[in-house]
């Protein structure tokens, strides 16, 4: 598959929705409503053999009746009808298609899936799916997901692409991404990968200027050699954070029945991930957690982490988390220690972790940040801001945002808590400062960033913040 043809899925000037319906319970109704709701500026052609109009627009009995160029057909009818519809699309000159219908190889109907592939080959038509949610691109106002808009939030526009073999995982993570403050470039649910598979999608995203980072949920790979070749080139320019489903024998069986996927050996995948710089997320939590730091931070020059905290016990937990993840605590330089001794209260022990006391306010946070962000012994910074304490308020959040925008060091904040803390966490994350609810989550994310940084340094000779990715 020529990766350039895949662009038709994301930037069509005209879309035919086969199975469009006035019935709100029908998939075709939801998809067409989504196109209208997101403000798609191109032509929308509803295809319904029994209706004159759908959602106020003229309906056509067959895509061949449209009489105009159609860049994309979204096929939302049962499997056997979908094959006939694809054949009609080919005859009508439709340039690409997304088949959201299930009922193909994932339930043993290999014959129907082979028929779909034959139509693609016959007409040179790129087809995504079947058994998928399709795509979403808020820049081009394209949304083929058949999930009602009131059931999930739409992320803001940004540089993170999320690719998922599973539609259910995809929709869940997409909803979570919007609450993590991510900026999304593209969402892709590719299902059975009958024609367009994970290799094609990675090749496309590697050349996509809107995408800076890829989050990937995968259950299996069909073209192992091509996959390795593609990720080897991809990870030298952009990070791929990947969560692999089907790592146990039973999970592998579940993957086969879910997306007709060849899940393969977990050990083999682990070896590929390590060798070629793929960032391995053990679960969905890690996928989101790692994505957050990769979106906002550049490469890390080393594993030494300075900890600043307004809670002593949390500083101890953070120290444990660092060493448990192969990171180390930074040692303050003599100059930094002397400078901190001058600005900190006498009760503060000037050492790592720097416990500034439970009454630390924005001025104390600022004094510590001003010194530690300049300390050459610190490669990264973890700030623990407990907003339950008397001195922590919006001014502390504003202070941390200020220093984040003025330092070259990767920096994260740990801020657990309820509503009051969450308000301030959203303030910081909306300003590009990654926030975590526990030291362990933050440490795992920092280790993932360090591992990828080391891979890039060792493979490409790139080192440090000077190579910070464009946001």
Tell me the mean pLDDT in the region 109-137. 96
| Last residue of one domain, picked from the residues 263, 296, 329 | 296
**DSSP secondary structure letter of residue 247:** -
Report d(CA 352, CA 345) in Å as an integer: 16
Q: What CA–CA distances, in Å, run from 347 to 278, 351, 359, 361, 465?
A: 45, 12, 11, 15, 35
Tell me the mean pLDDT in the region 69-94. 97
**Residues 162 and 267 reside in one and the same domain:** yes
Residue 469 in contact with residue 298, Cβ under 8 Å?
yes
- Confidence at 149, pLDDT banded by 50, 70, 90: low
| Last residue of one domain, picked from the residues 272, 296, 320 | 296
144 lies in a domain?
A: no
**Residues 242 and 333 reside in one and the same domain:** no
Tell me the mean pLDDT in the region 45-50. 97
451 lies in a domain?
A: yes
103 lies in a domain?
A: yes
Q: Answer yes or no: is pLDDT of 267 > 90.
A: no
Token pair of 278, please? 């793929």
Q: Answer yes or no: is pLDDT of 131 > 80.
A: yes
**Residues 302 and 448 reside in one and the same domain:** yes
**Residues 36 and 127 reside in one and the same domain:** yes
| Last residue of one domain, picked from the residues 296, 328, 360 | 296
139 lies in a domain?
A: no
| CATH code at position 402 | 3.40.50.261
Residue 99 in contact with residue 121, Cβ under 8 Å?
no
**Cβ atoms within 10 A of the Cβ of 370, count?**
15
252 lies in a domain?
A: yes
Q: Which residue has the tokens 């469009």?
A: 20
**Residues 258 and 401 reside in one and the same domain:** no
**Residues 453 and 402 reside in one and the same domain:** yes
Window from 56-65, 176-185, 340-349, 378-387 with minimum mean pLDDT: 176-185
Q: What is the pLDDT of residue 250?
A: 55
Token pair of 264, please? 């393969």
Residue 30 in contact with residue 46, Cβ under 8 Å?
no
Q: Global pTM?
A: 0.89
**Residues 312 and 211 reside in one and the same domain:** no
- Confidence at 471, pLDDT banded by 50, 70, 90: very low
Domain that holds residue 311: 298-467
Tell me the mean pLDDT in the region 146-159. 79
Q: What is the pLDDT of residue 249?
A: 54
**Residues 99 and 186 reside in one and the same domain:** no
**Residues 388 and 431 reside in one and the same domain:** yes
Q: Answer yes or no: is pLDDT of 388 > 90.
A: yes
Q: What is the pLDDT of residue 255?
A: 44
72 lies in a domain?
A: yes
Mean pLDDT of the chain: 91
| CATH code at position 97 | 3.40.50.720
- Confidence at 220, pLDDT banded by 50, 70, 90: confident
Q: Answer yes or no: is pLDDT of 442 > 80.
A: yes
3-state SS class at 216? strand
- Share above pLDDT 70 across residues of the chain, in percent, rounded to a whole number: 93
The total of structural domains in the chain comes to 3
| Residues 6+ away with beta carbon under 8 Å from 81 | none
**Residues 161 and 220 reside in one and the same domain:** yes
> Closest Cα to residue 8, out of 182, 124, 132, 157?
124
Q: Answer yes or no: is pLDDT of 467 > 50.
A: no
| Residues 6+ away with beta carbon under 8 Å from 35 | 15, 17, 44, 141, 142, 143
**Cβ atoms within 10 A of the Cβ of 71, count?**
18
- Confidence at 304, pLDDT banded by 50, 70, 90: very high
**Residues 271 and 359 reside in one and the same domain:** no
158 lies in a domain?
A: yes
Q: What is the pLDDT of residue 262?
A: 46
3-state SS class at 106? helix
Report d(CA 412, CA 321) in Å as an integer: 14
21 lies in a domain?
A: yes
pLDDT digits (tens, 9 = 90+) for 314-342: 999 999 999 999 999 999 999 999 999 99
**Residues 161 and 286 reside in one and the same domain:** yes
């Amino acid at each position: 598959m020529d990766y350039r043809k895949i662009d038709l899925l994301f930037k069509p000037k005209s879309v035919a929705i086969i199975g469009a319906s006035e019935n709100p319970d029908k998939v075709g109704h939801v998809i067409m409503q989504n196109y209208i709701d997101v403000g798609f500026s191109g032509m929308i052609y509803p295809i319904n053999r029994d209706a004159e109009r759908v959602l106020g627009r003229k309906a056509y009995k067959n895509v061949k009746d449209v009489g105009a160029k159609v860049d994309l057909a979204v096929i939302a009818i049962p499997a056997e009808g979908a094959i006939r519809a694809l054949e009609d699309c080919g005859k009508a000159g439709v340039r690409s298609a997304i088949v959201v219908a299930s009922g193909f190889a994932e339930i043993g109907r290999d014959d129907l899936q082979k028929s779909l592939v034959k139509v693609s080959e016959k007409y040179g038509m790129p087809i995504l799916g079947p058994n998928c949610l399709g795509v979403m691109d808020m820049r081009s106002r394209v949304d083929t997901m058949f999930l009602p808009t009131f059931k999930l939030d739409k992320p803001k526009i940004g540089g993170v692409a999320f690719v998922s073999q599973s539609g259910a995982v995809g929709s869940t993570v997409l909803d979570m991404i919007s609450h993590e403050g991510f900026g999304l470039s593209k969402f892709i649910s590719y299902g059975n990968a009958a024609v367009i598979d994970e290799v094609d999608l990675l090749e496309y995203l590697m050349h996509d200027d809107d995408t800076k980072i890829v989050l990937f949920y995968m259950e299996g790979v069909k073209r192992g050699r091509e996959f390795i070749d593609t990720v080897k080139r991809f990870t030298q320019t952009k990070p791929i954070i990947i969560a692999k489903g089907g790592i146990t024998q039973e999970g592998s069986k579940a993957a086969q029945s879910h997306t007709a996927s060849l899940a393969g050996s977990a050990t083999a995948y682990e070896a590929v991930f390590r060798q070629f710089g793929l960032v391995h997320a053990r679960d969905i939590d890690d996928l989101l957690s790692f994505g957050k730091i990769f979106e906002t931070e550049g490469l890390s020059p080393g594993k030494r982490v300075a900890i600043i905290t307004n809670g002593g016990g949390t500083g101890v937990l953070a120290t444990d988390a660092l060493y448990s993840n192969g990171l180390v605590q930074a040692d303050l330089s003599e100059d930094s220690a002397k400078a901190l001794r001058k600005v900190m209260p006498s009760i503060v022990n000037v050492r790592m972790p720097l416990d500034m006391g439970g009454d630390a306010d924005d001025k104390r946070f600022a004094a510590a940040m001003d010194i530690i962000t300049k300390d050459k012994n610190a490669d990264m910074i973890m700030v623990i801001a407990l907003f339950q304490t008397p001195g922590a308020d919006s001014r502390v959040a504003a202070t941390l945002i200020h220093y984040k925008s003025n330092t070259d060091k990767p920096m994260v904040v740990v801020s657990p808590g309820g509503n009051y803390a969450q308000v301030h966490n959203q303030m910081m994350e909306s300003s590009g400062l990654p926030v975590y609810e526990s030291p362990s989550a933050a440490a795992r994310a920092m280790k993932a960033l360090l591992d990828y940084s080391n891979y890039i340094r060792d493979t490409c000779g790139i080192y440090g913040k000077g190579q910070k990715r464009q946001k």
